[in-house]
Amino acid sequence: MPPQDGSISKTVLHAGQEVENLLKPTAWQAIEEGYRREVSVFSCDNGGDARGRRGVLQRVVLNQQRAQPIVASAWSKAEGVTGTIDSDYALYLDLAYYDGTELWGQVAGFRTGTHGWQREEVVLFPEKPIKAVDFNLLFRDHAGKAWFREPVLRQVNSQASSVLFDGVHVVSRGPAAEGFQARDVAAGSDFVRIAKEAIGLRLYVSQTEHGGATFFDVSVRDTTGKDRAVTLLYAIPVPPAGVRWLDDPRRSSGVEAGREYVHAASFRAGANGRLSTYPLGALAQAGDMVGLALAIDMAYPAFYRIGYNAGTGEFWIDYDLGLTPEKPQARLRFCRFDFAPDCGFRAALHAYYRLFPEAFHRRIDKQGLWMPFAKISQIKGWEDFGFQFKEGNDETAWDDSHGIFTFHYTEPLTWWMPMPATMPRTVEAATSEARRLADRGRREAKALFSSGNHNADCTLAATFRDLPWNHGAVGA
């Protein structure tokens, strides 16, 4: 029988079974302008200096023989801290792996403004054994004062049967099976199988064949009426023996036991902040005449990852979804296809181009350099540079007469909001100014309140910049 809806495919292991705090009370070092010690509390006072740089650091040597999860946490309170949540007022980890590589900037940011004690935590499941960790409590580039207490770094004793899967430690329940799985990330749930309905989600899937690929048109709907943060996963069982992960057009590697392979960039979004660099992922097996790829349809943008896990024997694609009562449904589209593996990732790319020709159709025959803002006519010997595109409409007639394509400058996803020099650079002040502008009918301000990004504490996401074109806040 096929796996049933709601049956557990992978049990998630939460941070537990912890050993002692690895941080030593006497091993702290000052970062730049330093800190004050108040018994068991560290204080960093930048006063009115928004460029003050203070903090406290401790380096811990782990010398792991095998990759083991670590948990870092600390408490902080703030008084008049300017700016927004970022990596400069934060618990911040830098890692050195045993093989000499490094992983920087594993961060949990604290709220700005004025607030009481707030706990933040970084849980890290490393892909490789860790040699050392730099544990930082940072207070940089923010005015105001911050206090830190109860810093903790622990190493988790993981089970021998567990593996790291998409950023969380899991134990597989039964053999891998092709199909969909879902996880309630906000609730920290296990991965469960879903064909029609499970964990308050209803799934609709239709499959079509085209151009030698299988396309999946997917709709997932929340049935609880609540805000949801979930991951939807589609997996194909592929035993690890002889598998090569095709990382990019230049690199590939034979998979190692227990390891996971994902080519991704880091963002402050989603279940684990990883977004695949390419719209496809590909692998090949020794002796096989075909390779196997999973790919998104770029006409359905999403926050997604594609990877292979040698520990569970699954080739997978997953999507991080935010569902709300106002918009409880998400639509996705992806495909799987075979390709001739002789040319590796390049062969997979070639097949992808053929499946989505409109996404790669060149619509402008004339090619050349791009000039932002400046007038091309005022550049001595401009003919020598091969200009073809102009960003800005300050001399459109000249551009037209010389065969230059002119594009009006716009940032559809960003709003630079000017703020008076006397206005505090705080989220509260920026929100109040945006509300004033919205009440006066400013289009960008009205869009901000209808569809702007928010932080976990429901404040609007914004940063403050002092630049030639804007003195104030920028948000999206």
In-domain check, residue 12: no
Domain encompassing residue 75: 29-155
The CATH number assigned to the domain holding 81 equals: 2.60.120.260
* Residue 276, in any domain of the structure: yes
Instruction: Report the alpha-carbon distance of residue 129 to residue 133 in Å, rounded.
Output: 11
Query: What's the number of domains the chain is made of?
Result: 4
Q: If we measure between CA atoms, which residue out of 352, 351, 265 comes closest to residue 303?
A: 265
Q: Do 253 and 317 have their domain in common?
A: yes
CA 275 to chain centre: 5
- pLDDT score of 459: 83
Q: What is the pLDDT of residue 149?
A: 96
For tokens 């002119």, what's the residue? 406
| pLDDT for position 156 | 72
d(CA 307, CA 399): 46
Would 258 be classed as within a structural domain? yes
- Is residue 224 located within the same domain as residue 291? yes
Last residue of a domain, one of 101, 123, 155: 155
Distance CA 178, CA 214 (A): 14
Please list the residues that pair with 168 across neighbouring strands. Answer: 165
How many whole angstroms separate alpha carbon 218 and alpha carbon 67?
36
Residue 339 and residue 382 share a domain: no
Domain boundary, last residue among 129, 155, 181: 155
HSE of 294 in the Cβ direction (CA atoms, 13 Å)? Answer: 23
Q: CA torsion sign, 293 to 4 to 162 to 121? A: positive
Q: What is the pLDDT along the chain (476 residues), one digit of tens a residue?
A: 567 888 989 888 775 544 689 999 999 999 999 999 988 999 999 999 989 999 999 999 999 987 777 889 999 999 999 888 889 999 999 999 999 999 999 999 999 989 999 999 887 777 789 999 999 999 999 999 999 999 999 987 655 677 888 888 888 998 999 999 999 999 999 999 999 999 999 999 999 999 999 999 999 999 999 999 999 999 999 999 999 999 999 999 899 888 889 998 877 788 888 899 999 999 998 877 889 999 999 999 999 999 999 999 999 999 999 999 999 999 999 999 999 988 999 999 999 999 999 999 988 889 999 999 899 999 999 999 999 999 998 999 999 999 999 998 888 888 999 999 999 888 889 999 999 999 999 999 999 998 888 877 788 888 888 888 899 999 76
What's the pLDDT at 413? 83
pLDDT, residue 18, reads 45
Predicted confidence at residue 435, as pLDDT, reads 95
User: Would residue 265 count as lying in a domain?
Assistant: yes
Question: pLDDT at position 17, please?
Answer: 45
- Kindly report the pTM of this predicted structure: 0.80
Of residues 427, 421, 429, 430, the one with CA closest to residue 455: 427
Check if the beta carbon of residue 210 is closer than 8 Å to that of residue 297: no
Residue 274 confidence (pLDDT): 86
- The CA distances from residue 24 to 57, 107, 155, in Å, are 11, 21, 14
Domain shared by 348 and 316, yes or no: yes
